[in-house]
Structure 1
Amino acid sequence: MENRAVYGPTTEAAPGAGRGGLAACFTLGRLSRPQRVLKGLQLLLSLLAFICEEVVFECTLCGGLYFFEFVSCSAFLLSLLLLIVYCTPLYDRVDAGKVKSSDFYITLGTGCVFLLASIIFVSTHTGTSPEIAAIVFGFMASLMFLFDFGLMLYEKRQESQLRKPENNPRAGTLTEPLNG
Structure 2
Amino acid sequence: MRVTGDDMDGFEGEASSTSMVSGASSPYQPTTEPVMHGRGLRGIRCDLAYIRSLFGILKCIQVVLSLFAFISIETIMECSPCEGLYFFEFVSCSAFVVTGVLLLLFSLNLHTRIPHINWTMTDLGNTVISALFFFIASVILASLNHKSGAEISAAVFGFLATLSYMVNAVLALRKWKDGNRSQNIHQTSDYIRARSESRDVDCRPEIQRLDA
Q: Per the shorter chain, which TM-score range? A: 0.7 to 0.9
1:103 corresponds in structure 2 to 123
Gaps of 5+ in 1: 1-23
Q: Aligned letter for 2:150?
A: P
Give 3-state SS (helix, strand or coil) of 1:37's partner. Answer: helix
2:7 corresponds in structure 1 to none
CA distance in 2, matches of 1:33, 1:79: 16
Give the drift of 1:146.
1.2
Give the drift of 1:164.
4.2
CA distance in 1, matches of 2:169, 2:55: 10
2:81 corresponds in structure 1 to 61
Matched, 1:124 2:144: yes
Deviation per CA, 1:109-158, whole angstroms, max 9, x where unpaired?
11111111111111211110110000000010011111101011122223
Deviation per CA, 1:41-76, whole angstroms, max 9, x where unpaired?
100101111111111121111110010001101110
CA distance in 2, matches of 1:50, 1:104: 23
Q: Aligned letter for 1:137?
A: F
Contact 2:128–2:169, Cα closer than 8 Å, also in 1:
yes
Cα pair distance change 1:154/1:89, threshold 3 Å: closer
Give 3-state SS (helix, strand or coil) of 2:48's partner. Answer: coil
2:65 corresponds in structure 1 to 45
Q: Write the mapping of 1:82-93 to structure 2, written as runs, cut at 5 A.
A: 82-93=102-113
Higher relative CO (Cα under 8 Å, sequence separation at least 6) belongs to 1
Greater helix proportion: 2
TM-score w.r.t. the length of structure 2 is 0.63
Cα pair distance change 1:99/1:163, threshold 3 Å: closer
Contact 1:49–1:135, Cα closer than 8 Å, also in 2:
yes
TM-score w.r.t. the length of structure 1 is 0.73
CA distance in 2, matches of 1:150, 1:138: 18
Q: Aligned letter for 1:54?
A: E
Q: Aligned letter for 2:91?
A: V
Q: Aligned letter for 2:104?
A: I
Contact 1:64–1:120, Cα closer than 8 Å, also in 2:
yes
Name which one, 1 or 2, has greater alpha-carbon Rg. Answer: 2
Give the drift of 1:89.
4.4
Contact 1:28–1:36, Cα closer than 8 Å, also in 2:
no
Match of 1:70 among 90, 93, 101: 90
Aligned residues: 150
Gaps of 5+ in 2: 1-43, 204-212
